[in-house]
Chain A
Amino acid sequence: MTEAVRIDPVEVAPAAMPGARAAAASQPSVLRHAVYVIGQNPVTGLAFGLFLLIVLCAIFGPLIAPYDPLASDTDAAYQAPSAAHWFGTDQLGRDILSRVIAATRLDLTIAVFSVALVFLLGGVSGVMAGFFGGWTDRIVGRLIDTIMAFPLFVLAMGIVAALGNTVTNIVLATAIVNFPLYARVARAEANVRRDAGFVQAARLCGNGELRIVLTQILPNVMPIMVVQMSLTMGYAILNAAGLSFIGLGVRPPTPEWGIMVAEGAADMVSGKWWIAFFPGGALMLAVFCFNLLGDGLRDIVDPQRRT
């Protein structure tokens, strides 16, 4: 099976980019390297397939789902997985497969929004701190230290409890606890480049400091930040699901993986395993997929950090 996925980079790369042969010979091509890395590690290909499935579920969820995820049918409560209900039904007779599919959109939305938010906040403040140093650096550094002084999940709990029990606040809390990861990376990347040759050249040409940050530093920091995004995506999903598992954020009957596991928790020890198993399994697969993709992407963008 693995042989089918494996692609020889040397043969494929020039064919994939006709006319780019001369360019590829002179400078290493990103695409060629990507094909090579994926060919080396078929698991990344598998994760990519899984990722497409998750995205499809998130976009077309309501169309794919065989039943209405909110419709209860007390006559059909507690049914084990069968041909009619692939994943069985829960205590209210709702179809679990439909609920698992419908939950994909909400879980993915929470994760994407929180990661995008922290990408913006952490990226900008980290780059500023690394490039300008001085007071900016001290303030951002103190902020990072303060957040890092808390166990992250506990801080997220406190933030949601204080701000109010809504999905928006889950997004916000997840973004805040991830802030140090982004700000630190952006700071380090910007710091090594603050006096690089191309920055000094730009300065010599009369560019203002802010313009240098935007046109010279940011584009260079971006690839690492994107990797950081895919690496923390899985954690964002886990964090949000954990919060809703303890009853924060998402309210029943909204389908969401964490809260569905919580709903099935009591029935798990009395043998009705399917109520919590399928949403939990979906959550696990999604996080696994994002972690593998993150590792794969890191290998492509930043080969030195390969493990």
Chain B
Amino acid sequence: MGIAPKVRRLWQGCAGAMPTLRTRHVVVTAMLRKIGKRLATVIPSLVGVIVVTFLLTRVLPGDTAAYFAGPAASAQAIEDVRKQLGLDRPLSEQFIRYVSDLAHGDLGKSLTTGQSVTADIAARLPASAELTLLGLVAAMLIAVPLGIVAAVRQGSPVDHACRIVATAGVSLPVFFTGLLLSYVFYYRLGWAAEPLGRLSFLYAPPPTITGFYLIDSLIARDFELFRAAASQLVLPVATLAIFSLAPIARMTRASMLAVLASDFVRTARAGGLSPGTVVMTYAFRNAMLPVVTTLGMVFSFLLGANVLVEKVFAWPGIGSYAVEALIASDFAPVQGFVLTMAAIYVLLNLAIDLIYGVIDPRVRIEA
């Protein structure tokens, strides 16, 4: 009887133990070196991305000048575009020019909007970012607890629910889910706002500071506007969340099961720790590592699904911008969009790896 509290105190002491100053110094330099190494791996990825987007337009069959000139252009106009874009020059020279344009932030000009693609994308990026990030946060908030409960109570109704969610979620066409949700919650029940854009036409957008309507409206202290923007966000965010729930829930469950079966959890249990402490302090932190790794894949899906969701909800983000340009055979925006998305994705993967290094002490020390 008397030993249990003592062991418990000992265990809690270990969990909270801090490394000494000297080891901390070693850890920090090792970590910096690792970050530098990881940063260097971004470069080949970005080079690959730039080469592919270049090849997509220049080398593949089809007349690039005709693409850039648009469907209604005359032969003379196409010839002008060819000269203007330097497409009559050798390929290597074209590539150098393409890269130097990129370095100046020049992605060409959109024929449909008449503006530079860089300006268009910059103006529309916050709308997409707000949607995607909220979708991811919502998915995490549901999927992680679901996966944990499913693993802790294996075989229970929650576990079966988690299984169904994990299989059904990856089978749902995201554009179809969006339409179903807007039919049920907008047309049938009337709970949600009309699925058209970021704000109802009754409201004017808040002064742009971050570009995120939720944040900007709070900064402007306009709470009604905040509510209006949030109500437009609910359905598209729910659609994205349902879509990305599945891989996160599945991974959380699998990795929690693996951790719960491990020796240190058994020892912690034997030491008399409460089930809550074992699950949350010991198992959860370790189980989150593989989940963070899967986030890379989740982002790949999410950025693609974002295009479809934006089309369904007439969301004025970069996805619907690219789709409109595609329909109009306006190629510069599509190329700019693919490049932007790939760059964002490469940077997100970098961020994920760095976060992984921060939360996993073993990675820090081994490096």
Which residues of A come within 8 Å of B, CB atoms? 142, 145-146, 149-159, 161-164, 234-235, 238, 241-242, 245-248, 258, 261-262, 264-265, 268-271, 273, 276-277, 280-281, 283-284, 287-288, 291-292, 295, 307
What 8 pairs between A and B have smallest CB-CB spacing?
A: A153-B304, A146-B48, A280-B176, A151-B303, A158-B338, A288-B171, A162-B56, A287-B171
B187 within 8 A of A: yes
A154: chain B residues within 8 A (beta carbon): 303-304, 307, 337-338, 341-342
Segment with Cβ contacts to A, from B90-98, B115-123, B323-331? B323-331
A155: chain B residues within 8 A (beta carbon): 52, 338, 342
Write 12 A-B pairs (CB below 8 A) sorted by A numbering. Answer: A150-B345, A151-B302, A154-B337, A154-B341, A162-B60, A162-B331, A245-B173, A261-B179, A268-B187, A269-B183, A271-B187, A277-B180
Q: Give the Cβ gap from A295 to chain B, nearest Cβ, in Å.
A: 8
B57 within 8 A of A: yes
B254 within 8 A of A: yes
Q: Which of B53, B56, B182 contacts A269 (CB 8 A)?
A: B182
B61 within 8 A of A: yes
Q: In the assembly, what is the distance between CA of A152 and CA of B308, in Å?
A: 13
Chain B: residues with Cβ within 8 Å of the partner, total of 56
Contact pattern, B 148-192, Cβ under 8 Å of A = 1, otherwise 0? 000000000000000000011011111110011011001100000
B341: chain A residues within 8 A (beta carbon): 150-151, 154
Chain A contact surface mostly: helix
Could you tell me which residues of chain B, from 187 to 218, have a CB within 8 Å of some CB in chain A? 187, 194-195
Q: B179 to A152, Cβ gap below 8 A?
A: no
B136 within 8 A of A: no
Q: A280 to B338, Cβ gap below 8 A?
A: no
A273: chain B residues within 8 A (beta carbon): 183
Q: B173 to A151, Cβ gap below 8 A?
A: no
Q: A150 to B62, Cβ gap below 8 A?
A: no
Q: A242 to B254, Cβ gap below 8 A?
A: no
A283: chain B residues within 8 A (beta carbon): 173, 176
Q: In the assembly, what is the distance between CA of A307 and CA of B44, in Å?
A: 35
B356 within 8 A of A: no
B346 within 8 A of A: yes
Q: Which of B49, B180, B186, B335 contacts A149 (CB 8 A)?
A: B49
Contact pattern, B 38-50, Cβ under 8 Å of A = 1, otherwise 0? 0000001110110
B288 within 8 A of A: no
A162: chain B residues within 8 A (beta carbon): 56-57, 60, 62, 331
B11 within 8 A of A: no
B311 within 8 A of A: yes
Q: B61 to A247, Cβ gap below 8 A?
A: no
Q: Give the Cβ gap from A125 to chain B, nearest Cβ, in Å.
A: 17
Q: In the assembly, what is the distance between CA of A291 and CA of B167, in Å?
A: 7
- Closest chain A residue to B195 by CB distance? A269
Which of B254, B334, B335 has most A Cβ within 10 Å?
B334
Q: A154-B303, A162-B57, A234-B170 are in contact. Are A265 and B346 (CB under 8 A)?
A: no
Q: A242 to B173, Cβ gap below 8 A?
A: yes
Contact pattern, B 249-277, Cβ under 8 Å of A = 1, otherwise 0? 01000100000000000000000000000
B233 within 8 A of A: no
A291: chain B residues within 8 A (beta carbon): 167, 170-171
Q: A246 to B176, Cβ gap below 8 A?
A: no
Could you tell me which residues of chain B, from 300 to 350, have a CB within 8 Å of some CB in chain A? 300-305, 307-308, 311-312, 322-323, 326-327, 331, 334-335, 337-338, 341-342, 345-346
Q: In the assembly, what is the distance between CA of A242 and CA of B172, in Å?
A: 11
Q: B171 to A234, Cβ gap below 8 A?
A: yes
Q: B179 to A276, Cβ gap below 8 A?
A: yes
Q: In the assembly, what is the distance between CA of A292 and CA of B167, in Å?
A: 8
Q: In the assembly, what is the distance between CA of A276 and CA of B322, in Å?
A: 23
B299 within 8 A of A: yes
Q: In the assembly, what is the distance between CA of A82 and CA of B160, in Å?
A: 36
B44: chain A residues within 8 A (beta carbon): 142, 145
B172: chain A residues within 8 A (beta carbon): 284, 287
B183: chain A residues within 8 A (beta carbon): 268-269, 271, 273
Q: A280 to B180, Cβ gap below 8 A?
A: yes
Q: A145-B48, A292-B167 are in contact. Are A307 and B254 (CB under 8 A)?
A: yes
Q: B337 to A247, Cβ gap below 8 A?
A: no
Q: A151 to B56, Cβ gap below 8 A?
A: no
Q: Give the Cβ gap from B28 to chain A, nearest Cβ, in Å.
A: 30
Q: In the assembly, what is the distance between CA of A154 and CA of B317, in Å?
A: 14
Q: A145-B44, A162-B56, A273-B183 are in contact. Are A241 and B173 (CB under 8 A)?
A: yes
Q: A261-B175, A284-B171, A284-B176 are in contact. Are A245 and B311 (CB under 8 A)?
A: yes
Q: Give the Cβ gap from B108 to chain A, nearest Cβ, in Å.
A: 14
Q: Give the Cβ gap from B9 to chain A, nearest Cβ, in Å.
A: 38
B312: chain A residues within 8 A (beta carbon): 265
Q: A163 to B308, Cβ gap below 8 A?
A: no
B62: chain A residues within 8 A (beta carbon): 162-164
Given contacts A151-B342, A154-B338, A242-B304, 4 further A-B contacts (CB under 8 A): A149-B345, A161-B326, A247-B326, A268-B183
Q: Give the Cβ gap from B143 to chain A, nearest Cβ, in Å.
A: 16
- Closest chain B residue to A288 by CB distance? B171
Q: In the assembly, what is the distance between CA of A152 and CA of B45, in Å?
A: 15
B311: chain A residues within 8 A (beta carbon): 245-246
A295: chain B residues within 8 A (beta carbon): 167
Q: A157 to B303, Cβ gap below 8 A?
A: no
Q: B175 to A157, Cβ gap below 8 A?
A: no
B299: chain A residues within 8 A (beta carbon): 151
- Closest chain A residue to B166 by CB distance? A307
A156: chain B residues within 8 A (beta carbon): 304
Q: In the assembly, what is the distance between CA of A265 and CA of B308, in Å?
A: 12
- Closest chain B residue to A283 by CB distance? B173
Q: Give the Cβ gap from B306 to chain A, nearest Cβ, in Å.
A: 9
